[in-house]
Amino acid sequence: MIRKKWIVSECDKDTAAQIAEDFSIDPFTALILVSRGITDYVEIEEFLDPCAPLMIDPFSFADMDKAVQRIQYAIDDYQKIAVFGDYDADGITATALLYSYLEKREANVVRYIPDRLTEGYGLSCDSVRELAGQGVKLIITVDNGVSAIEEAKLCKTLGVDLVVTDHHKVGEELPDAVAVVNPHRKDCPSEFKDFSGVGVAFKLVSALEGGDEDSMLDEFGDLVAIGTIADVVTLKGENRSLVRYGLNSINSAPRTGLKVLLEKAAGQGKKIGASNAAFTICPRINATGRMGSAEKALDLLLCDDEFTAERLVDEIQSMNQSRQKTETEIFNEVSALFAQKPSLTRDSIIVVDSEGWHQGVIGIVASRIAERYGKPAIVISRNGSEARGSCRSIEGFSIFKAIEAVSDCLTHYGGHTLAAGIGLNCNRIEEFRIRINDYADGIEMPFPVQKIDCRLKPAQISLDILNALDVMEPFGAGNPTPCFGLYGVKIEDFGAIGDGRHMRMTISKGDVRTGVVWFGMQEKLFPYSRGDVVDLAVTLDRNIYNGETRISVSVKNIRPSHTDENKVLSGQRLFEKVLGEMPLTSGQALMALPEREIQVEVFKHIKMSKPVEDSYEQICLHLNDDGTNYCKVAVSIAVMIEMGVVAKTHSGRLTVAETNGKVDLNDSVLMKRIRSYL
């Protein structure tokens, strides 16, 4: 379980009280707004307005006028147009939107989404040749194309015009196309930059309608909302309005395919918000592209026949289950790899590779590794002499800049600050691993962060809080579901639920006892004991059962109440240096080298309680240490394992091993190495 740095938002209560009065809103709502820095009255008014209008003129995008002119000519002249999309939910919804619009305009239009497994991401020379051979005269990309430099040149050679619409980072060179519509262009005057690919496609069709965004929202708002949520772009500004309008459409009058999908994935009658859309609709649409058949999801979004939709949803559900199974298998292989070679997890950027890992799933596995270890992670799948990788990062570290710094190792790359994709030759994987870690070691890596909007007491938890927060929906990237800190609560009891995959706890503070659930936490890996006093980071939600609405409390993070966080995090970083065999100063060596008294206390604790592996902070808690000796505790355990005094069980716990005679821990290689720096 990764230790995060807790950051509690500061809040001026007087300002919050004034805002609550001036806007006639619940004081708790005002408190959360202020804690998130939303204090400008114009911004507050726009943020809270459920009918906030779209503010960004479609024609404020660079090249939008050129794109409209060329597309309009193709429609009028009945030239064959190809909408070229991407295989993720953003690209699929963007393809559905533009293809559907052009079809209703009676254009001569086809759609093309490359196969993730055989073609890879984005416009390719092979696909350009194929489309040109079909008589296509105009290719319009959605959610890709800004890096298609060579493909654009080929288009010209073959007499095919190219219009690019994209939202990914722009390189030094733009494709030589009729138009490149991308808010990240340096010369793009659009005030809002954080559109998804489907958001840019929406602006394109609005421009083709002369700027009539209202009618386009009525037609395509649902698609824009799904793609925007799936691509995890910020739900602020224009995106907030787009998603809010689209969710209303989904809940009031969903298109046929979505209606059937929601009935099977979420259950009939359940209101869909951004959060449950992200866990029901988006993964299933993404699963089709991940497992090699994005056309299934595209067909579902375009179909208007319920019988066809039923069949497609069943196929998509099956593909999603296959995706989950494959993801679990790869993650288990990665875990086994880490067990064989623990040094991989000590790198600043974790890089793992293997032959034949499913390329559609490695991005999810990279996300799980990054979350588990609190570090950027790159998962690479080898296929013969070539390899592809998916990169995921943590807040505060740009994985895009990192791979850009070592891009001469790669055949191609692209992406965002927190997620990217790479291609490289297999014989350069080890070089890539070393060099990208050299880059990371040259800067101060951030700790993963646990943000707390405000503190709560268990006695304050009620449905009134959720009612007050409803006006802040939709929640998502840039506007996350509020997270609350329950400080100094006592763990009364805990136990497994959901076939052991989750855990329920009973906590108390004073006379108040509260039940909380921790999804994804297995009881056997829980490092705390009954009676421990901890701080919990929690979110709140409604749980409707048999017509009764109750509040549900979900744990997101935990830490001991009585350790010093700065000391713990400093000790954690020092221990990483020790295990990574990096040079130490004499002062660092002193902070790392455990005295015999600490070793004895750690040994006694392991013998008595069999703690979870790596639970160094929790062991400090039971030794009445505030984290000052975190590194010494961790080194003590590492030394005992090295010398065979302590062993790890299959369930991930530490236990005293049987030894023949006395063992001098000073003979440990690790102890000798630390002592050499004194």
What does DSSP assign to residue 650? T
Q: Please tell me whether residues 74 and 168 are part of one structural domain.
A: yes
377: left (phi over 0), alpha (psi -120 to 50) or beta: beta
Q: Please tell me whether residues 122 and 78 are part of one structural domain.
A: yes
Q: How far is the CA of 128 from the CAs of 46, 150, 160, 170, in angstroms?
A: 43, 11, 9, 21
**Which domain-ending residue is among 297, 314, 331?**
314
400 lies in a domain?
A: yes
pLDDT for the residue numbered 660: 73
> Nearest 5 degrees, angle CA 609-CA 615-CA 619?
55
Label residue 133 exposed, middle or buried (CB < 10 Å: 0-12, 13-18, 19+).
Answer: exposed
Q: What is the CATH number of the domain that holds 537?
A: 2.40.50.460
Contact 353/337 with Cβ under 8 angstroms? no
> Cα separation of 486 and 491, whole Å?
12
Q: pLDDT tens-digit profile of 390-399?
A: 999 999 999 9
- In sequence order, which residues have a C-beta less than 8 Å from that of residue 240 and are 6 or more positions away? 47, 52, 474, 479
Q: Please tell me whether residues 539 and 577 are part of one structural domain.
A: no
Count: domains in the chain: 4
Query: Is the model's pLDDT at 39 over the cut of 70?
Result: yes
666 lies in a domain?
A: yes
pLDDT for the residue numbered 652: 81
Average pLDDT over residues 373-394: 95
- In sequence order, which residues have a C-beta less than 8 Å from that of residue 512 and are 6 or more positions away? 457, 458, 459
Instruction: Please state, for a pLDDT cut of 70, what percent of the chain lies above it.
Output: 99
46 lies in a domain?
A: no
> Cα separation of 630 and 634, whole Å?
6
Residue bearing tokens 């001991």: 560
What does DSSP assign to residue 437? H
Q: Please tell me whether residues 555 and 573 are part of one structural domain.
A: no
Task: Share the mean pLDDT of the chain.
Answer: 94
Task: Give the strand pairing for 138-142 and 179-181.
Answer: unpaired
The answer to whether the peptide bond before residue 480 is cis (omega within 30 degrees of 0) is no
Average pLDDT over residues 566-587: 93
Q: Please tell me whether residues 354 and 461 are part of one structural domain.
A: no
SS3 per-residue string spanning 86-146: CCCHHHHHHHHHHHHHHHHCCCEEEEECCCCCCCCCCCCHHHHHHHHHCCCCEEEEECCCC
E strands along 206-308, which residues?
none
Q: Please tell me whether residues 353 and 408 are part of one structural domain.
A: yes
Contact 296/315 with Cβ under 8 angstroms? yes
Q: Please tell me whether residues 550 and 644 are part of one structural domain.
A: no
Which range of residues forms the domain containing residue 491? Answer: 450-560
Average pLDDT over residues 125-135: 97
Residue 129 — very low, low, confident or very high, per pLDDT cuts 50/70/90?
A: very high
Instruction: Please state, for a pLDDT cut of 90, what percent of the chain lies above it.
Output: 84
Q: Please tell me whether residues 537 and 660 are part of one structural domain.
A: no
323 lies in a domain?
A: no
Q: Please tell me whether residues 351 and 306 are part of one structural domain.
A: no
Contact 504/497 with Cβ under 8 angstroms? yes
User: What is the helix, strand, coil percentage profile of the chain, to 5?
Assistant: 45, 20, 35
Task: Give the strand pairing for 654-656 and 179-181.
Answer: unpaired
pLDDT for the residue numbered 639: 96
290 lies in a domain?
A: yes
> Nearest 5 degrees, angle CA 511-CA 512-CA 513?
120
Q: pLDDT tens-digit profile of 303-318?
A: 999 999 999 999 999 9
Contact 392/409 with Cβ under 8 angstroms? no
Q: State phi, psi for 627 to the nearest 5 degrees.
A: 110, -5
Q: Please tell me whether residues 531 and 569 are part of one structural domain.
A: no
Query: Is the model's pLDDT at 268 over the cut of 80?
Result: no
Q: pLDDT tens-digit profile of 58-96?
A: 999 999 999 999 999 999 999 999 999 999 999 999 999
**Which domain-ending residue is among 412, 441, 470?**
441
Contact 367/359 with Cβ under 8 angstroms? no
Tokens describing residue 236: 């602020």
Q: Please tell me whether residues 395 and 458 are part of one structural domain.
A: no
Task: Rank 3-7, 121-125, 127-131 by mean pLDDT and report only the highest.
Answer: 127-131
> Cα separation of 665 and 663, whole Å?
6
45 lies in a domain?
A: no
Separation of first and last alpha carbons in the chain? 32
Q: What is the CATH number of the domain that holds 389?
A: 3.10.310.30
pLDDT for the residue numbered 348: 93
pLDDT for the residue numbered 544: 79
Query: Is the model's pLDDT at 414 over the cut of 90?
Result: no
pLDDT for the residue numbered 312: 96
Q: Among 213-217, 507-511, 520-524, whose mean pLDDT is lowest?
A: 520-524
pLDDT for the residue numbered 288: 94
324 lies in a domain?
A: no
Tokens describing residue 57: 């003129």
pTM, two decimal places: 0.88
Q: Please tell me whether residues 388 and 515 are part of one structural domain.
A: no
Beta partners for residue 538, in sequence order: 484, 555
Query: Is the model's pLDDT at 267 over the cut of 70?
Result: no
pLDDT for the residue numbered 269: 63
Average pLDDT over residues 272-298: 92
17 lies in a domain?
A: no
What does DSSP assign to residue 195? -
Average pLDDT over residues 587-602: 96
**Which domain-ending residue is among 391, 423, 441?**
441
